[in-house]
Amino acid sequence: MSSIKEKQAKEVAALRADIAKLKADMAHSRTEDKAKLQAKLDELDEKLHATLARAKQSSEKHEEETRERLHSLEKKAANASGEAKARLEAQIADIRKESAKVHADVGRESQKVRSKLRRSKSK
């Protein structure tokens, strides 16, 4: 999962850098070149949105798998006793903690992206 997130983060960062460069080029270009640059900028914007949509789908899939895994472990813990139950409950707690951390990270990244997109559209 981490390598997928890292790959997606690198892809988003590269697209953002390309968009920033094109905007700088547009600011210093002739009128006839601006249409070409705007078309390229629109293409990069579409790629960025597609990348973010894939990241969101991946995150949602991971969340669903986590919920299913937790449900399964909770059922096992309900039927277990003693040390086995304690191990299962500890595993459940660890999964919930990690899931909350990932969810918070994704939320922060999503907010950053939305903020940057709003700023870039207003320019």
List, for residues 24-73, the tens digit of each pLDDT value: 887 887 777 778 888 888 998 898 889 888 888 888 898 899 999 999 99
> 15 pLDDT exceeds 70?
yes
pTM above 0.85, yes or no: no
- Confidence band, pLDDT 50/70/90 cuts, at residue 5: confident
Pair 52, 12: CB distance under 8 Å: yes
pLDDT at 77: 93
Q: How many domains does the chain have?
A: 1
How buried is 109 (Cβ within 10 angstroms: 0-12 exposed, 13-18 middle, 19+ buried)?
middle
pLDDT of 20 reads 86
Structural domain span for residue 116: 2-122
The stretch 95-109 carries a mean pLDDT of 81
